[in-house]
Amino acid sequence: MTESSSVILEKRGRAFWITINRPDKRNALNGDVIAGIVRGYRDAHDDSEVRVIILTGAGDKAFCAGADLQNSGAAFAMDYSKPNVDYADLLRLSQNSTKPAIARVGGVCMAGGMGLLCMTDMAVAADHVIFGLPEVKVGVFPMQVMSLLQSMAPSRLVNEWALTGEPFDAKAAQAAGLLNYVVPAAELDAKVEWLINRIVDKSPTAIRRGKYAMRAIASMSFDESIAYTESQIALLAMTEDAKEGLKAFSEKRKPSWPGR
């Protein structure tokens, strides 16, 4: 386990946990938090034993409440000589990830926290959690969050959330496609563990190559996509995992994935 003042990184079996550790600040984002999550994603990808990433916040009050506004000047300070923003680079990194990520949402999820939610592949939330894009209330807008959110939720809802800044509940978030499961708080960890177990016994090679392909075809036309994927399935069939999977199926046993 790697622990800092802002982010805890912990390997639990085949899962790599990234926990924002600022419960007294509602797990708000600052430079250290963003750097810690980036490190977690990179460490998870460097470890061949890791099959899934879990992103969560410490405590039961907040998943992430967005940028730390305690020092408003620092929250929106920019180095205009840099073309990239650290938070945007984190979202880029997440979208290029080839290992699946699950958001464990145990408390409020607002503003930049919504971006963290959207950058994962799956999400489980406690039924009391409140979500929102309140940026317009402080004179800004969820610009970078929109890059992911607009492809996940219906445009009319995204418009309402972003333009009014008003919060919504977990039931509405699930109906909009932001959450896979909503459970009572006492069942949150069990549901996350259940989802982890449904991933880690599958082919890591198929998952990595599958995530890579899904990312690649997202902006393709049908003709481009079908041409790309027919070549990808041919390559996938040549992997050691595919050979083991077919052999295990014919022998009526569980596969032992080589991960190659």
Q: What does the alpha-carbon distance between residue 51 and residue 16 come to, in Å, rounded to a whole number?
A: 8
Per-residue pLDDT of the chain (260 residues; tens, 9 = 90+): 666 689 999 999 999 999 999 999 999 999 999 999 999 999 999 999 999 999 999 999 999 999 887 755 455 565 655 666 899 999 999 999 999 999 999 999 999 999 999 999 999 999 999 999 999 999 999 999 999 999 999 999 999 999 999 999 999 999 999 999 999 999 999 999 999 999 999 999 999 999 999 999 999 999 999 999 999 999 999 999 999 999 999 999 999 999 88
Q: At 108, phi and psi to the nearest 5?
A: -50, 140
Helix (H, G, I), strand (E, B) or coil at 152: coil
Tell me what pLDDT residue 1 has.
65
Contact present, 86 and 31 (Cβ < 8 Å)? yes
Long-range contacts of 155-162 (CB under 8 A, 24+ apart): 161/132, 161/133, 162/133, 162/135, 162/136
User: What is the residue type of 209?
Assistant: R
Strands (E), 97-256: 101-105, 108-110, 122-126, 130-132, 168-169, 181-183
